[in-house]
Amino acid sequence: MKILAISGSTKPNSTSHHILNHIKSNLENILELEIYEGIEKLPHFNPAITDEQTSINVIEFRKQIENADGVIFCTPEYVFSIPGSLKNAIEWCVSTTVFSQKPVAMIIAAASGEKAYESLSLILTTIETILPNESRLLIQGAKGKVNTHGEITDISTKEQIERVIQSLITTIRDEDKRPTKLR
Ligand SMILES: Cc1cc2nc3c(=O)[nH]c(=O)nc-3n(C[C@H](O)[C@H](O)[C@H](O)COP(=O)(O)O)c2cc1C
């Protein structure tokens, strides 16, 4: 099962990166998880850009989404929304169908994070991903749940992350069984 993980933080060693690394190392026997590293290299979205003018970084990003069985987002909240860099990355996909019927999961790792949770839920359902409630997680006070080595120290947070990933896996398996699968 191939999963693309997208962090909404451009900060090295952010809490979001630590969470994605935790998922990668704990589930490597069942998931082939690749963490997307190019978010800050994507240009600003411009709807006037034609297909021929589209940056190779954008094309590669879309391809990585298309080739993944599922996508997991993990992001902080910035100024009561998702970070601009993550919104920009998603905007580059709106005119495509790469997210259409794609099983996804989302984790908001923030101080408070309710607005980012609402916003990302709305964005991901608008672009027609498959996002059951069980595949959504809000980790509040996230920084305090990760130690200086990047390890998640809170047992309940670890369990919640595991449940979200299990939900994503179930969604992918259910989607694979659908006779009308378009991918
Ligand atoms: C510019 C900026 C704005 C922020 N705004 C919010 C906010 O509106 N709500 C919130 O819960 N946290 C906010 N935070 C805190 C982040 O969500 C915080 O960075 C998060 O706990 C994860 O830490 P990280 O930097 O290790 O990813 C903000 C952080 C920054 C840098």
106 in contact with ligand 1, CB cutoff 6 A: no
pLDDT recorded at residue 178:
77
For CA atoms 28, 123, 182, 46, the dihedral sign is negative
Q: For domain 2-177, which architecture applies?
A: 3-Layer(aba) Sandwich (3.40)
Q: Which of 14, 74, 79, 107 to mutate to test the pocket of ligand 1 (most atoms within 8 A of CB)?
A: 79
Query: Is 105:165 a contact under the CB 8 Å cutoff?
Result: yes
11 in contact with ligand 1, CB cutoff 6 A: yes
**What is the distance in A from the centroid of ligand 1 to the CA of 121?**
18
pLDDT tens, residue by residue, 140-169: 999 999 998 999 999 999 999 999 999 999
Distance in angstroms (rounded) separating the CA atoms of residues 8 and 10: 7
Q: Could you tell me the pLDDT band of residue 28, with boundaries at 50, 70 and 90?
A: confident
pLDDT recorded at residue 177:
82
109 in contact with ligand 1, CB cutoff 6 A: yes
pTM of the model: 0.96
Kindly list the domain boundaries of the chain, sorted by start residue: 2-177
Smallest CA separation from ligand 1 atom 21, residue:
110
Q: Listing from the earlier edge strand, what are the strands of the sheet with 104-110? A: 32-36, 2-7, 70-75, 104-110, 136-140
pLDDT at 183 exceeding the cut of 60: no
Burial of 53 (0-12, 13-18, 19+ CB in 10 A): exposed
Q: How far is CA 17 from CA 23, 36, 69, 174, in A?
A: 10, 10, 20, 28
Query: Is 161:107 a contact under the CB 8 Å cutoff?
Result: yes
| Mean confidence (pLDDT) of the chain | 95
Mean pLDDT over 24-37 rounds to 93
pLDDT recorded at residue 45:
98
pLDDT tens, residue by residue, 62-120: 999 999 999 999 999 999 999 999 999 999 999 999 999 999 999 999 999 999 999 99
